[in-house]
Amino acid sequence: MKKLYVLILFLLVNAVYAQENRTDRWQEDLEHYQEELQKRHIDLYNQIDRQSFEQELKHISSTIEKRTDWEIAIGLMRLTRKIGDGHTSVSLANWETNYYPIEIKKISNKWRVVKVSEAYASVLGATMTKIDGKPIQEIENELSEVVQFVENEHSKVVRIGEYLPLSELLFSLKITKSTEEARFQFTTDAGKNPDVMMQAVPPNELNSQNYRELNIGVPGIEKPDNPDFDFLWFTQVEGLPITYIRFDSYPTFEEMIPFAEKLVGFVVQNQSRQVIIDLRNNGGGDLYIGLILANALNMVDGIDWKNGVYVLSSGITFSAGASNVALFRELLNAKIVGTPTGSNPTGYQDMDAFNLPNSNLRITYSKRLFRIQETATEGVQPDVLIDYNWESYAHGKDNILEQTVKKIKIGEAVPD
């Protein structure tokens, strides 16, 4: 009996010690979070005043013992959103997270399944309506205050879709009942209401899943065999004097220079009169590398410099991608087609990061203030506003690119 009493006492003491130790570690992290942001961020209190910031941080600190690690992280995510720029965020990149093998996008105002594990292929193209009985609109509202790398309404919608498959986040927000599985409900265009119990998988297993997905494109625009980069390539639009450039991400300076030289040779050889630069999937990088591309194209006299350059943008277009959209409008006399960019052309940018010493959360922050436009706008505003149309998307058609090519083909300048 005495041994049992000693064992219980030992376990209790260790539990108390572990909790105190955890509290100390998180308090150290929270102090580090503020100290480093104050030291590194170009203008930390430009949207939230220091007193409000410190009050909210103090509340998180005083409730550590009542919160799980994920709930503390979510508290920091809410606070960081109030700093007000999309480059200052709490990144979960260093944390162990599990994901539901599904990708959804908001198309024609509905959350559509555009990619899903083969095991749940029956819901591809369906509209998500509930998770564990909670309506998707409520889930969207809850995630909207937490998701990171948000600079305007356009990037917020994109981030909600990106964060929605994260099982620990959904569980910590009390959207789901478990981190291991959740019941997803859908509505198909045929009027059926499939109900799927989906299993979360760790990130190392996510890419090994077999997937079904919806891909969109335009006849006559094909990715070339063996391009220099999967994320940056060009091709001729079949039967038309148009060079299409797919610009999803940035190579290095050293890589962009020979790429741009090849591009110029291709445009000249094919006597292209028009150029379409597609930045709809460009999440950022180094805007100055993008300017190498613009400089190279500017050498080609054969391009119709009055009406022949088009840039495609979307809510995914972020950071350097958004800056290059705005700069290409000015430097290449480009018409912008699509939807507004996910980050703003004038605002705090140029991201760097540090890790919190104990939790290892990665905190990103802005180092520079860019004024790419004289007038501040919520994203770079397109000259021609065209969003994805579900009817086209469901049939594999890229209606935005299709309409741009059609305008060129019939000899119409895309209107202002």
Quick one: tokens of 4?
């049992």
Q: What is the pLDDT of residue 410?
A: 73
Are 404 and 289 in a shared domain? yes
pLDDT at 302: 96
- 297, 163: one domain: no
State residue 2's pLDDT score.
Answer: 57
Q: Is residue 17 part of a domain?
A: no
In this prediction, residue 15 carries a pLDDT of 44
Query: What range defines the domain where residue 310 resides?
Result: 232-343+379-409
| Percentage of the residues of the chain whose pLDDT score is greater than 90 | 90
189 falls within a domain: yes
Domain-ending residue, one of 182, 213, 244: 213
Residue 356 exposure: Cα atoms within 13 Å on the Cβ side? 27
Same domain flag for 257 and 198: no
Same domain, 263 and 299: yes
Question: Is 200 in the same domain as 300?
Answer: no
Which element (helix H / strand E) includes 393?
helix 390-394
Tell me what the mean pLDDT of segment 230-246 comes to.
97
Confirm whether 285 is domain-assigned.
Answer: yes
Residue 117's SS3 state is strand
Task: Indicate whether 330 belongs to any domain.
Answer: yes
Cα separation of 268 and 181, whole Å?
55
Say if residue 375's pLDDT is above 90.
no
For residues 397 and 325, state if they share a domain: yes
Average per-residue pLDDT for the chain: 94
* The pLDDT of residue 340: 98
pLDDT category of residue 19 using cuts at 50, 70 and 90: low
Q: What is the pLDDT of residue 341?
A: 98
Domain match, 133 and 206 both: yes
pLDDT beyond 60 at 244: yes
Q: Is the pLDDT of residue 411 over 90?
A: no
The model's pLDDT over 73-121, given as tens digits with 9 standing for 90+, comes to 999 999 999 999 999 999 999 998 999 999 999 999 999 999 999 999 9
Query: In this prediction, what percent of the chain has a pLDDT beyond 70?
Result: 94
Give the whole-angstrom CA distance, residue 235 versus residue 269.
12
* Number of domains, the chain: 2
Which of 186, 213, 240 is the last residue in one of the domains?
213
Tell me which DSSP letter residue 368 carries.
E
Confidence of residue 16 (pLDDT cuts 50, 70, 90): very low
Question: Is 96 contained in some domain?
Answer: no
357, 358, 359, 362 alpha-carbon torsion, rounded to 10°: 10
Residue of 258, 261, 235 lying closest to 246 (CA atoms): 235
pLDDT of residue 13: 41
What pLDDT sits at residue 412?
A: 53
Q: Let me know whether 263 and 391 are in one domain.
A: yes
Asked if residue 259 and residue 384 are part of one domain, the reply reads: yes
CB atoms within 10 A of CB 346: 17
317 occurs within a structural domain: yes
Q: Are residues 170 and 304 in the same domain?
A: no
Among candidate residues 213, 242, 263, the one where a domain is terminated: 213
Q: Is the residue at 370 inside a domain?
A: no
Q: How far is it, in rounded angstroms, from Cα 238 to Cα 215?
A: 20
Residues 291 and 383 in one domain: yes
What is the DSSP secondary structure assignment for residue 65, as one 8-state letter? G
- 87 occurs within a structural domain: no
Give the position of tokens 């009996």: 1
pLDDT, one tens digit per residue, over 49-66 is 999 999 999 999 999 999
pLDDT given at position 5: 54
Per-residue pLDDT at 265 exceeds 80: yes
CATH code (residue 138): 2.30.42.10
**154 and 278 assigned to the same domain:** no
What is the rounded distance in angstroms from the CA atom of residue 339 to the CA atom of residue 154? 8
* Helix ranges restricted to H, 129-208: 136-144, 153-163, 167-172, 203-206
CATH number, residue 339: 3.90.226.10
Under the banding of pLDDT at 50, 70 and 90, the label for residue 238 is very high
